[in-house]
Amino acid sequence: MIGGAIRERRLPVVRRADDHGFGELLTRLAAYLPEEDLEGIVEAHDFAAKAHEGQNRRSGEPYISHPIAVAQILAGLNLDAGSIKAALLHDVLEDTPATLAEIKARFGDDVALLVDGVSKLDQLRFDSAAEAQAESFRKMLLAMVQDLRVILVKLADRTHNMRTIGALPREKQRRIARETLEIYAPIANRLGIYSLKVELEDLGFKTLYPFRYRVLERALRRARGTQRQPLRRIESRFEDELAANGIKARVTGREKHLYSIYKKMQRKHAHLSEIVDVFGIRIVVPDVDSCYRVLGLAHQLYKPMPGRFKDYIAIPRVNGYQSLHTTLFGPNGVPLEVQIRTDEMDKVAERGVAAHWQYKAVDKHTYSTEERAREWLAGLMEMQHSANSEEFLEAVKVDLFPDKVYVFTPKGDIMRLPRGATAVDFAYAVHTDVGNRCVAAKIDRRLVPLKTPLGNGQTVEIITARGARPNPNWVNFVATAKARNAIRAYLKNLRRDEARELGRRLLSQALRPYSISLRRLPKARVAALLHELGLEDMGTLYEQLGLGERLAPVVAGMLAQHDGDDTELAQKRKPLEIAGTEGLVVTYARCCYPIPGDEIIGFMSSGRGIVIHRTTCGNLAEYRKQPSKWIPVNWKNNVEGEFLSEIQVRTLDRVGLLAEVAGKISATHTNIDHVRVDTEGDSSVLLFRLKVKDRKQLAHVLRSIRTIPGVVRVTRGTG
């Protein structure tokens, strides 16, 4: 019996013909777990085997073979007993009558939390597959915050599913493979678990692009054959040189895996023969001091390539990876990548955060890696409060890819950011408040635009101002999920405040014909209205009114309990005054470009608030089919800000005329937002989009352009 084999302790475990690899698993676990842990694992196996009895996988194998295979993957990472039990039990909640209470009673809260964390959300219903995937992913990350082992079990589960994916329909294979490449392999990389990351990437690549995989594999196999002997000679030369200098080291040849080569070929638009570091040497030494000594020896043996040295020991990657990387000109000028690291660094490079749970493993490197993972998760949890499920998943995808840029704060602290990160990303990485209030940036003491991409080694200083607020355009160029979500969250809150203020004004205006003041509304009548509308407070109602989701005249009628003639009341309504400072809840139509001085009318658009049109706008005929959504509006006497307007200039086609027209516009102190030129035979039509304060300024611009020789006609555009 298997149990008897455990009590014999370190003797090989006796295997039954039908144990589906469980005996092999126990043998592997016996190498690093105490006997009492093995007994608990046998109990978990027996519980899972009984629960899954009679169930088969698509491939025809008994279902229990899958949890055992997942546990074997985790045993390969030397994970603790709790993780192994959770791996054996991870599908019982989803696929069997077993309950979470049962698992908690039999195996404790620790294991129950892990099992629950990796279980799918079958009991919930979603509007779309994307939403279901995103919500499931959000739940998994929340569980990860409580216990990082949740994701390790999930990654092992996905790895075995990818190994056996051939039994599924082709379309499902492609969907799972794409999800693996977009989410699970990058998570394994972000947590530093290189062994799982490589396998997930290659299996995903093979499933998603089988033809490309076969072609690349054949080409690489041929390349291996020609490189094997030279690589062995290089290894021997390194071994001899290290021994001669009294350095104990392990030297091994290494080659990049297929998917990383494929991505590099894509990124560089290069042929396989142009990818320089397909093959390389890894040198593992006892301590950090030896790493730098070996680097010196390597540069004496072969000349280093300029710009190809990276010190990930002094500045580790964001996932905790540490190593020295250098690329050398090998024999016959063939590029050779060399990685130099300690034993501990090598373990962390292969197992990442999983190294933290190795039996009796308490070294500083694994601790550092786990701390980095927890910091990353804490950042994700910050994001998830300000985004829906799909926005959150998109943000996580952005945040998963490895950091490439290392910059310094003015105090000399290192900040790690993704390639393409800008000064705004840096500001939000320092603190959300710094990002929200930033107005300018200095890179190496020189003022630069906020959208300037950062480079390695630069010192970045952010200049802030009280009262500054994020610019909505920042979302278009920021590279980090934290910055993008912080900007969106701020703008959502800002828009909510503006919408509430506008909604209050709209309702106050709509109540005037009833001779009712908002301040004097009886509390009982307000409470009755909120109850009828299913709202918690007047703030929510104002917000909905401001965003156009409810109509102020309708709500006013409900409050006044009026049953008279709505048309007559509509005629009594005073126009709403537009000041130009309403923010995001008042927009100006791009079909007619209204500016102060124009006669205007407002249209209540659901989710956009009020859209202002000129009364001469051609689209009004369409909108008048919904008269209840139109509201009278006027410009205030002192309108603030600049407004877009369009002009069309028809000219004779001659050299330099565009520059002359633009010069006349600039002379009136008017900014040009956009220009387009259309040529029609021997004449041209110049279309300018300008920023003006009012009709007076626009009229001044039109008059100045008409004085230019060659200008045939100048008119105001209609959008």
Check whether residue 524 and residue 582 sit in a common domain.
yes
- Confidence band of 293 (pLDDT split at 50, 70, 90): very high
pLDDT at position 341, please? 93
In a domain? residue 61: yes
Q: Which of 94, 179, 239, 694 is catalytic?
A: 94
| 404 in Cβ contact with 419 (< 8 Å) | yes
Q: What is the pLDDT of residues 575-592, one digit of tens each?
A: 777 877 666 677 888 888
Q: State yes or no: is 94 an active-site residue.
A: yes
Residue 190 backbone phi and psi in degrees, to 5:
-65, -30
- Confidence band of 141 (pLDDT split at 50, 70, 90): low
Which pair of structure tokens corresponds to residue 109? 């809260």
Position 573 pLDDT exceeds 70: no
Check whether residue 598 and residue 703 sit in a common domain.
no
Count of CB atoms situated within 10 Å of the CB of 36 = 9
Lowest mean pLDDT among 223-232, 301-310, 424-433, 445-454: 223-232
Mean predicted confidence (pLDDT) in 393-398: 56
- Confidence band of 84 (pLDDT split at 50, 70, 90): very high
Which pair of structure tokens corresponds to residue 65? 């073979």
In a domain? residue 436: no
Count of alpha carbons within 13 Å of 360, Cβ hemisphere only? 4
Check whether residue 72 and residue 158 sit in a common domain.
yes
Mean predicted confidence (pLDDT) in 246-273: 80
Count of CB atoms situated within 10 Å of the CB of 41 = 23
Distance CA(43)–CA(613), nearest Å, equals 73
CA 597 vs CA 435, 575, 591: distances in Å: 37, 15, 17
Select from 635, 655, 679 the last residue of a domain. 635
- Confidence band of 275 (pLDDT split at 50, 70, 90): low
Distance CA(307)–CA(528), nearest Å, equals 72
Distance CA(340)–CA(346), nearest Å, equals 9
Check whether residue 631 and residue 691 sit in a common domain.
no
Distance CA(704)–CA(667), nearest Å, equals 9
Grouping H, G, I as helix, E, B as strand and the rest as coil, residue 239 is: helix
Q: What is the pLDDT of residues 525-555, one digit of tens each?
A: 888 888 877 788 888 888 877 766 677 776 7
Residue 114 backbone phi and psi in degrees, to 5:
-65, -45
In a domain? residue 248: no
Beta-bridged to residue 643, according to DSSP, are: 692
Distance CA(345)–CA(585), nearest Å, equals 54
pLDDT at position 9, please? 44
Position 569 pLDDT exceeds 50: no
541 or 352: which carries more pLDDT confidence? 541
Element (H, E) at 577: strand 576-578
In a domain? residue 172: no
Position 15 pLDDT exceeds 50: no
Check whether residue 625 and residue 651 sit in a common domain.
no
pLDDT at position 96, please? 86
Sorted by sequence, the CB contacts under 8 Å of residue 578 that are 6+ apart come out as 586, 600, 602, 612, 633, 634, 635, 636, 639
Instruction: Give me the residue label for tokens 């990472």.
Output: 77
Check whether residue 681 and residue 536 sit in a common domain.
no
Lowest mean pLDDT among 30-39, 196-205, 412-421, 577-586: 577-586
Position 187 pLDDT exceeds 70: yes
Angle at 199 between CA 67 and CA 20, to 5 degrees: 25
| 457 in Cβ contact with 468 (< 8 Å) | no
Position 374 pLDDT exceeds 70: no
Count of CB atoms situated within 10 Å of the CB of 252 = 11
In a domain? residue 353: no
Check whether residue 572 and residue 707 sit in a common domain.
no
Strands 586-588 and 609-614: parallel
Q: State yes or no: is 95 an active-site residue.
A: yes
Q: What is the four-CA torsion angle of 460, 465, 471, 474, rounded to 10 degrees?
A: 10
CA 191 vs CA 184, 265, 349, 541: distances in Å: 11, 25, 10, 45
Distance CA(390)–CA(393), nearest Å, equals 5
Check whether residue 529 and residue 676 sit in a common domain.
no
Distance CA(310)–CA(323), nearest Å, equals 8
CATH number at residue 695: 3.30.70.260
pLDDT at position 14, please? 40
pLDDT at position 95, please? 82
Position 676 pLDDT exceeds 80: yes
- Average confidence score pLDDT of the chain: 79
Check whether residue 673 and residue 623 sit in a common domain.
no
Tell me which residue range forms the domain holding 686.
Answer: 643-716
Q: What is the pLDDT of residues 653-663, one digit of tens each?
A: 777 888 889 88
pLDDT at position 368, please? 56
Angle at 87 between CA 85 and CA 89, to 5 degrees: 70
In the DSSP assignment, the letter for residue 180 is: I
Mean predicted confidence (pLDDT) in 251-270: 79
Distance CA(21)–CA(40), nearest Å, equals 17
- Confidence band of 624 (pLDDT split at 50, 70, 90): low
pLDDT at position 508, please? 84
Position 633 pLDDT exceeds 60: yes
In a domain? residue 180: no
Mean predicted confidence (pLDDT) in 223-237: 76
CATH number at residue 113: 1.10.3210.10
Which pair of structure tokens corresponds to residue 74? 């985790």
pLDDT at position 414, please? 74
Nearest Cα to 496, choosing from 435, 549, 539?
Answer: 539
Sorted by sequence, the CB contacts under 8 Å of residue 455 that are 6+ apart come out as 405, 407
In a domain? residue 46: yes
Position 564 pLDDT exceeds 50: no
Q: Which of 24, 95, 311, 394 is catalytic?
A: 95
Nearest Cα to 354, choosing from 340, 338, 365, 341?
Answer: 365
Q: What percent of the chain has pLDDT over 90?
A: 17
Strands 405-408 and 414-417: antiparallel
Beta strands in 470-555 (DSSP E): none
Check whether residue 108 and residue 67 sit in a common domain.
yes
Beta strands in 291-398 (DSSP E): 310-311, 324-329, 335-342
Beta-bridged to residue 252, according to DSSP, are: 282
Distance CA(190)–CA(372), nearest Å, equals 10
Count of CB atoms situated within 10 Å of the CB of 132 = 17
How many domains, the chain?
3
Check whether residue 83 and residue 18 sit in a common domain.
yes
Position 16 pLDDT exceeds 60: no
Nearest Cα to 310, choosing from 322, 290, 325?
Answer: 325
Check whether residue 629 and residue 647 sit in a common domain.
no
Select from 139, 163, 187 the last residue of a domain. 163
- Greatest mean pLDDT among 21-30, 224-233, 271-280, 380-389 lies in 21-30
In a domain? residue 499: yes
pLDDT at position 690, please? 92
- Confidence band of 359 (pLDDT split at 50, 70, 90): very low
Q: What is the pLDDT of residues 486-500, one digit of tens each?
A: 887 777 777 777 778
Select from 163, 198, 220 the last residue of a domain. 163
